[in-house]
Amino acid sequence: MHSYERVVEILSGFAETAQQRPLSLGEALDSLDHAAFGLIALILVLPLLQPIPLGPLTVLGGFTFAALGWQLWRGAESPVLPQKIRGVTMSEKSWRMLAKISLKVVGFCRRFSRPQRYPRLVEGERGRKIGGFILIASGLLMAIPFGVLPLNNVLPGLAVLFYCIGQLEQDGLMVMIAFFWLIFTTVYFGFFFFGIYYLGAEAMSRFGWGG
């Protein structure tokens, strides 16, 4: 199991390598060998936890999480990333920033996470299926091309984040929180769709369209 300190150590190592030469995500993650899905997903989700829409990057990230979730659901031993994600090259400054963000995020989460809490949600085949579902659902929600909708990357990203924390710490309560963010995101997006439908119907009625 990878601890919080190990996550930060890994990211700092990536930054040191990137200081010497360009380092792609694919090359960096290949160096982790058979790393847990939670660790890979954590590294990938941190740049997406921004309150502003990220456009195509959010869609690409969403499909990546969905692909990882499908692999996890099917029982793959280690993650395989899409080629577009593998080819993304980050500078030393970007890796340093990612390590800094990681330290703050996981440090905050560590305050209320506890190892071996509700372990049935994170262990064995049940835990694998639950994790796969969370990543698939979060990824598909994130991949919906909303454009300018605020938090369309953050909310499903929080579900991914808390699943990762739960998987790394073997804390089932974090998995429950991940499900909360999935439900909250679905409701939030639902209200957005309803608003579009309602305003569209109002406009058609105002201008006498649609009979």
Is residue 147 in a domain? Answer: yes
Distance CA 155, CA 142 (A): 8
Contact yes or no for 68/96 (Cβ under 8 A): no
Which tens digit of pLDDT belongs to each residue from 126-149?
999 999 999 999 999 988 876 667
Distance CA 159, CA 178 (A): 4
pLDDT band of residue 174 (cuts 50, 70, 90) is very high
Buried b (16+ CB within 10 A) or exposed e, 150-163: ebbbbbbbbbbbbb
Is residue 17 in a domain? Answer: yes
Is residue 24 in a domain? Answer: yes
Is residue 37 in a domain? Answer: yes
Tokens of 118: 């509700």
Q: How many domains does the chain have?
A: 1
Alpha-carbon torsion, ordered 22, 27, 31, 35, to 10 deg: 130
Distance CA 163, CA 119 (A): 13
Task: State whether residue 171 is helix, strand or coil.
Answer: strand
Distance CA 155, CA 140 (A): 12
pTM of the model: 0.81
pLDDT band of residue 107 (cuts 50, 70, 90) is confident
Mean of the per-residue pLDDT values for the chain?
80
Is residue 187 in a domain? Answer: no
Is residue 88 in a domain? Answer: yes
Which tens digit of pLDDT belongs to each residue from 40-95?
888 888 888 877 766 777 888 889 999 999 999 988 877 888 787 778 777 777 77
Question: Which domain covers residue 89, as residue numbers?
Answer: 4-182
pLDDT of residue 53: 66
Which residues have a Cβ under 8 Å from the Cβ of 86 and sit 6 or more positions away? Answer: 24, 25, 26, 29
Higher-pLDDT residue of 120 and 11 is: 120
Is residue 114 in a domain? Answer: yes
Distance CA 141, CA 183 (A): 11
